[in-house]
Amino acid sequence: MARSGKVAVVGAGFYGSTTAQRLAEYDIFETVVLTDILEGKPEGLALDMNQSRAVEGFETRVVGQTTGPNGEGYEAIAGAEIVIITAGLPRKPGMSRMDLIETNAKIVRQVSENVAKHAPEAVVIVVSNPLDEMTALAQIATQFPKNRVLGQAGILDTARFTNFVAEELNVPVSSVTTLTLGSHGDTMVPVPSASSVDGTPLTEALPAEKVEELVTRTRNGGAEVVALLKTGSAYYAPSAAAARMAKAVHEDSGEVLPVCAWVDGEYGISGVYLGVTAELAKEGVRKVVERDLTDTELAALKEAAEAVRAKQADVQSL
């Protein structure tokens, strides 16, 4: 496929810079823009990434741009078809994602207002935490149609679940299919009934207690990495997930992926951003795709929706 278009990544920390690198290495965009408020950081990272082009063999150009408190520099994202918001603090050991809500809400609101001004046609992919709440806030602050604002969580959580199952059974990750829905937090809903190993249901491939153990490890997947790193949170798997979403949107692929999307009646749930499977295309979310769930899984999804709904109402005032 020919190279085309522009994708912007706001926030050049660990998550943003690795996302920009992955997007550039896909070699499907004309330009990847990377911005941050730290003077010189995005420019330096862009220069460094561009110098890897001759070795890695990609032609996409990375453009770094420092932005100011009043939106200075945001002209660089003009015309972007996709903007990925990674700006915001990551967790420290012992913190929950929800502990970041006040600080990150201010950042995500400011970034979103500038995105609305400078890239009014963009699809916005939010990754800043707490994810479900920041996705809702980005939609409120941009006033973009709800299908054009979505969040990254499900691809990552699912990839973690898949990795744990593959390691447990000592099989290739490509043999394993898993799914997680719900929130990117305590009410995450890993879905064993939609999970399998070479076509065998996960519930038959592993004893129930082992499945439960892996479900719990998946739910705590981010915290496990944070505890080991001690400063900062995961970024290799998270950036792979966000870049993958941007690719599906850019290529108008119609792929069904687990993402945080606006739910309007599916599963009997309405009016909330929640982790579900959805078809991704040029317009962002083309359609939320309902899955068959067991009664227990459906109840857990509804519980997640209510927990997220309460918090998403709070972000309006932050």
Ligand X SMILES: NC(=O)c1ccc[n+]([C@@H]2O[C@H](COP(=O)([O-])OP(=O)(O)OC[C@H]3O[C@@H](n4cnc5c(N)ncnc54)[C@H](O)[C@@H]3O)[C@@H](O)[C@H]2O)c1
Residue closest to ligand X (Cβ): 13
16 binds ligand X (CB under 6 A): yes
How far apart (Å, rounded) are the C-alpha atoms in residues 254 and 191? 22
Using CB under 6 A, pick the residue from 74, 144, 235, 262 that binds ligand X.
235
Tokens of 52: 């890897």
Using CB under 6 A, pick the residue from 80, 87, 274, 281 that binds ligand X.
87
Contacts of 12 (CB under 8 A, 6+ apart): 20, 34, 35, 36, 38, 41, 42, 45, 64
| Binding segment toward ligand X, per CB under 6 A, in 57-65, 107-115, 244-252, 276-284 | 107-115
Question: Considering 91, 118, 184, 250, which one is annotated as catalytic?
Answer: 184
Smallest separation (angstroms) from ligand X to the CB of 10: 5
Residue 250 is a catalytic residue: no
Q: Please name the amino acid found at residue 168.
A: E
Closer Cβ to ligand X, 196 or 262, answer by number: 262
Count of residues of this chain found to bind ligand X when the rule CB under 6 A is applied: 35
Cα 260 to Cα 31, 35, 44, 46, 92, distances in angstroms: 26, 24, 32, 29, 23
| Binding segment toward ligand X, per CB under 6 A, in 30-38, 52-60, 75-83, 287-295 | 30-38
**Which residues form the catalytic set?**
184
Residues at the interface with ligand X (CB under 6 A): 10-16, 36-38, 67, 86-91, 100, 104, 107, 110-111, 127-129, 131, 152-153, 156, 184, 232-235, 238
